[in-house]
Structure formats: C-alpha cells, structure tokens
Amino acid sequence: MSSQPHAGVEPSPPTGCVRWGLTCEDVHTFDAAERWVATCDELRVDAISAPEGPTVFEDPLVKLTLLARASSSQLLGTIVTAPRLRHPAILANAFSTLQRLSGDRMFVGIGVGDLSLIQIGEPPAKVAELERYAAAVKALCAGETIEYDGKRLRIAHARPVPLWLGADGPRTLELAGRIADGVIVGQASHPDIVTFVRRNLAAGAAAAGRDVDDIMVWYMCRIDIADEPNAAVRTEGLDRYAARQANFLWRIAGSPRAQETRERILARKGLDLGEEIAHRLAAYGAEFSQEHAFTTNHNVDLLASHGLTDWAGDLLYLSGPVDHVVTRAKALMAAGAENFIVPLMGTSTMEQRIARAATIAPVFDTLRTPR
C-alpha cells in the first residue's frame, strides 16, 4: 500500500518517545476504579481513556472523576464525546472541574459522533459543527467569553484543558492541525495511515501558522497477543469486529462503486488497496448485513467468501507473538507514530481486561528499551 502525497508539506520525523494508553470500559464499584489504576501503574500505562456511548458505556464524566481520584500520573479523558450530547458550557464546566481535581491531567476528546450520536438516533456532526462546538469548549475552558447560538457565555471556574479531536479523514485532520492540542486516530494499524495522518495534520497546522510537532497524536491500535500471526481475525468476537470495520472502511469512503473504491479509499485514508482488493471490498460492502453485524457470524462468513479475511485481519489488528507485534509497531513508529491507545477488545470482565493488558505490556516495554 502507498499513501497519497500532500504537496509541499512534509512532517518532521518522530522523536522516539513511546507512550501507551488503555481504555476503561467499566468501573462498577469504587474499588474497581482503584484496581484498574493500580493495574495501569504496574504496567506503566501513560493514559486512561473513557469511551463515550450513551446506550452502551457508563457515563464517562462520572468514570473520569473516579479515575482522577484513584490515579496520580496518567492522562485522563474522553475518546470521544460529541456535539449535541452536552451543551458546550456544561462540558467545559465539567472538564474544568476535573482538570482542577486531577492536577491538570485531563484532555477533552471530541469527535463527530459516528458511534455516540448514532446510538441515540442522531446523525453524526458535520465538520463545521464539530469545529464550532470544539472551539467553544476550548475557549470556555480557557476563561473566555464567547457567543454561542446567539447567547454570551462564560464559566466562572474555568481551567484550560487540552482539546483532542477524533480525526481520521483529511478534513477533520486538517481541522485538528488548525485548532487542536491533540488527535485521536480511530484505526491505525498500517504505516500508510500514519503517514497520511501526519501529512494532513501538517497541512492544517501550516495553514494556521502552527508547528505540527506541538500536536500530540494518539493512534488506536487493536493489539492481540497470540501464538500465530494474524490470529485475531479468527478469534470469536474479534472476527465480527473485523467484519464490521471492513464494511466501515468502504462506507466512510461514500460506499463507492467497485471501479471507484480504490481511489476513494486512497483519498479518505491514504491506503492504496490495489484493484483486486478494492473490487472485493466493494462487493462485500454491498452485501454486508447491518442486521446481523453484532449477533451472528453472517458477515464473518461473507468476508471469508470474498477472500478478505486475512487482509482485514492484517489491516485492523497487530496480532501474533510479542516479537511479531513489536516489529509491526516499529513500522508504525518509523512512519511517525509515538503514542498508542489500545482498546481491550474481546473482554467483558475486569479480570479479563487485566489479563489482556498484562499480555500487551511487554510490547511497550520492548519498544521503550533503548537500542
């Protein structure tokens, strides 16, 4: 695969400082928050994120309050909230409070709401709406007086909070380059995606007179330690995720016809699939069943019938023995990645998450070891 060049803008090379973070799906008790933080301390985790999903996840602001109390070193924030879920003054007030309580370790992650808004029957935000909302939250946290929907707003107990934008496509990445302190890239297990992200961020930063290296970029990587390379795509639960995400890649490119799929995905994600895979993906997307996406293996079997299983697994996961995963992570680092967030997929209990996190930690211990 190769990424589409962005004329005139070249990102700087990475600095070599590796950080990693974990998501926190649930904290059903006060003790659970302390237990999760203790695990993160032991595994040298740098950031803990709280997912936003009104119908599937616990409230992230309540969760972050517990994590702020239990922790002392990790960065903490949402991955990611969205416009329309909370008025910007309410979100800014909450995060200003959390910033004070945590000793300035918060970030407010905001995206278009591909998950969270869809869950409540709302369409995802347009880029212009995301910009207006995110800029309002950032300004209010900074103590500024703003006008929003025709009303003048200012919060009394403001405290600056870094703004991280969830961004994957060229428009949101360029927006992040212009206004954000950080970026969360939702799916990044291929070096071409990292190159594409950095080039579009650099373009936005240059347009605003900013230095792209001042923007903290975090890449979400689904890591699965297994005996064989690419095992995740054949693991129960993870196979359905791969089937959904393969379709999502095609859908966010506009559900193009087969002859347009390669060009559209190159423009949208920086990935050159080649003609054969692009045509197979378009055929798969056209037959994909949303009705069976979470409850049966219908789409898993469909992915296999189109000869896309190994391709999807290799694109969507870093899966295999530790040495294999380290090699693939180093390829991402060579392209410019330094910060990684790892969702603990395929787990449903605290014990399972702790065990899964412990298998992943050696990857980052190795990446941090000086050559």
Burial of 171 (0-12, 13-18, 19+ CB in 10 A): middle
pLDDT (average), residues 148-153: 97
User: pLDDT band for position 345 (50/70/90)?
Assistant: confident
List Cβ neighbours of 156 (8 Å cut-off, separation of 6 or more).
none
Contact yes or no for 18/47 (Cβ under 8 A): no
Q: Write down the pTM of the prediction.
A: 0.91
Q: Report percent pLDDT > 90 for the chain.
A: 85
Phi, psi (rounded to 5 degrees) for 78: -90, 140
Which of 212, 220, 223, 145 has its CA nearest to residue 180? 212
pLDDT (average), residues 222-239: 95
List Cβ neighbours of 90 (8 Å cut-off, separation of 6 or more).
none
For 7-18, the pLDDT digits (tens) are: 333 333 344 589
First to last CA, the chain: 28
Return the bridge partners of 217, or none. Answer: 183
d(CA 315, CA 192): 11
Long-range CB contacts for residues 290-297, cutoff 8 Å, separation at least 24: 293/240, 293/243, 293/244, 293/247, 294/240, 294/244, 297/239, 297/240
For 29-52, the pLDDT digits (tens) are: 999 999 999 999 999 999 999 999
**What is the average pLDDT score of the chain?**
93
Which domains are delineated in the chain? 19-226+321-368 (3.20.20.30), 231-319 (no CATH)
For 111-141, the pLDDT digits (tens) are: 998 888 888 999 999 999 999 999 999 999 9
d(CA 317, CA 260): 26
Q: What is the pLDDT of residue 371?
A: 52
pLDDT (average), residues 165-180: 97
Q: What is the pLDDT of residue 294?
A: 85
For 242-275, the pLDDT digits (tens) are: 999 999 999 989 999 999 999 999 999 999 999 9
d(CA 225, CA 356): 8
d(CA 60, CA 110): 12
pLDDT surpasses 70 at 2: no
